[in-house]
Chains A and B, each alone.
Chain A
Amino acid sequence: MNQQEKLDILKNILLTDERQYAEEISKKIKILEETINKQNQLSQKVDPIIDHKLEEFIKEMPKTLGPTITEALKSEIENSKDAVVEALFPIIGKMIKRYVQHEMQLLSEKINSQVSNTFSFKSLKRKFKAKKTGVSEGELVIQEQIKPVIEQLMVINKGSGLIISEYTRTKNIDEDMVAGMLTAIKSFAEDAFDKKEIELQYIEYEGYHVHLQNFSSYYIAVVISGSYNVIFKDELEDKLLNFAQNVINKEDLDDTSKLSEKLKLYFENENI
Chain B
Amino acid sequence: MKISKKVVLIGHFGVGKSSLIRRFVENTFSDDYKVTIGVHIFKKKVAITEEDKDISLVIWDLEGNDDIRDTRTSYLLGTHAYIYVFDVSRPATYMTIKDDIDYLKQHCNKTLIKIVGNKEDLLTKEQIKQLNKEIEPLVDFYTSAKTGNEVDELFSKLAMELI
Contact = CB atoms under 8 A, between A and B. Distances in A.
A158 B80 CA distance: 14
Interface stretch (B35-43, B95-103, B149-157): B35-43
Contacts, number: 55
A174 B79 CA distance: 20
Contacts of A176: 4, 43, 56, 58
A161 B38 contact: no
A190 interface: yes
* Chain A contact residues: helix, strand, loop or mixed: helix
Interface residues of A, number: 19
A161 B43 contact: no
Contacts of B80: 160
Given A162-B58, A188-B72, A191-B72, A177 B79 contact: no
Contacts of B79: 160
Contact of A161 (B1, B2, B56, B58): B58
B162 to A, nearest CB: 12
Interface string A130-174: 000000000000000000000000000111111100000000001
B142 interface: no
Interface residues of B, number: 20
Given A161-B58, A162-B58, A256-B1, A177 B77 contact: no
Contacts of A177: 41-43, 58
Contacts of A163: 4
Contact of B78 (A162, A174, A181, A257): A162
Contacts of A180: 6, 41, 43, 58, 60
Interface in B66-85: 72, 74-75, 77-80
Contacts of B77: 158-160, 187
Interface string B86-126: 00000000000000000000000000000000000000000
Interface in A249-272: 256-257
A158, A180, A181: most-surrounded residue (chain B CB, <10 A): A180
B74, B75, B77: most-surrounded residue (chain A CB, <10 A): B74
A236 interface: no
B6 A160 contact: yes
A184 interface: yes
A190 B74 CA distance: 9
A256 B2 CA distance: 8
Interface of A: 157-163, 174, 176-177, 180-181, 184, 187-188, 190-191, 256-257
Interface of B: 1-2, 4-6, 38-39, 41-43, 56, 58, 60, 72, 74-75, 77-80
30 contacts: A158-B77, A158-B78, A159-B77, A159-B78, A160-B6, A160-B78, A161-B6, A161-B60, A161-B78, A162-B4, A162-B6, A162-B58, A162-B78, A163-B4, A174-B43, A176-B43, A176-B56, A176-B58, A177-B41, A177-B43, A180-B43, A180-B58, A180-B60, A181-B41, A184-B39, A184-B60, A187-B75, A191-B74, A256-B1, A257-B1
